[in-house]
Amino acid sequence: MDEVTSATSTTTGPGITEDLLRYLQQGRDGLIRALEGLDDYDVRRPLTPSGSNLIGLVKHVAGVELAYLGDAVGRPSGERLSWVEDGSIWESADMWATADESRDDIVALYRRAWAHCDAVVRELPLDAPATVDWWPEERRHTTLGSLLVRCVAEVSQHAGHADILRELIDGRGGRDQADMGDAAWWTSYVARIQAAADAHRPAVAGS
């Protein structure tokens, strides 16, 4: 409750900017934390029918932040993103790493991206004009503040995705998993959820 109150009580000035950057950084840290202790195969392999993978999430949000909090407000980073330059981003090339793309390079790119974007956000007011060239004409003109909120939402969403993907790989949950309980507690907890679901399991024909 205190964090929510802090984030909503200040509507102008550096207070809300720093709140938004803090939430953005929490999402960034969660994405990087999800890679820890995994080999290159596990961070790259698709874990859902739609191909979701851990390093792809990092690659994606690096480009998102550079585009919205850099290019769109007239502060390009100078980073060259091959998947943007060749247009393959529109075929979701930013959502996975090719065999030739280094995990370390993608993580380093993301760290440079957030350093650049944080500097831009602290330099400009939240009502600074922004233009998102790839949006429809009728809504492409916006503000830095609006794009910052969008980035907080997107990075947080993908950090949640990363927690789930990591759990699918080796069972490691989010940062508060150990605070909730030990392995026995989690086994009992999941069993209670399964029992509640079983009460609504469809009947098997002929049984």
- pLDDT tens per residue, range 40-71: 999 999 999 999 999 999 999 999 999 999 99
pLDDT band at 12 (very low <50, low <70, confident <90, very high): low
CA distance 55 to 158: 11
Domains identified in the chain and CATH numbers: 2-174 (1.20.120.450)
Please write the tens of the pLDDT for every residue from 142-189: 999 999 999 999 999 999 999 999 999 998 877 777 677 788 888 898
Q: Is 136 left (phi over 0), alpha (psi -120 to 50) or beta?
A: beta
pLDDT at 9 over 70: no
Average pLDDT over residues 91-113: 97
How many angstroms separate the Cα of 115 from the Cα of each of 3, 28, 118, 152, 180?
24, 11, 5, 15, 33
The DSSP bridge pattern shows strands 141-143 and 129-131 to be antiparallel
The percentage of the chain sitting over the pLDDT mark of 90, rounded to a whole number, equals: 80
Euclidean distance between CA atoms 161 and 95, whole angstroms: 13
> Is the backbone of residue 5 left (phi > 0), alpha (psi -120 to 50) or beta?
alpha
Tell me the pLDDT tens digit for each residue of 189-201. Answer: 889 989 999 999 9
For residues 153 and 64, give the distance between their C-alpha atoms in angstroms, rounded to a whole number.
12
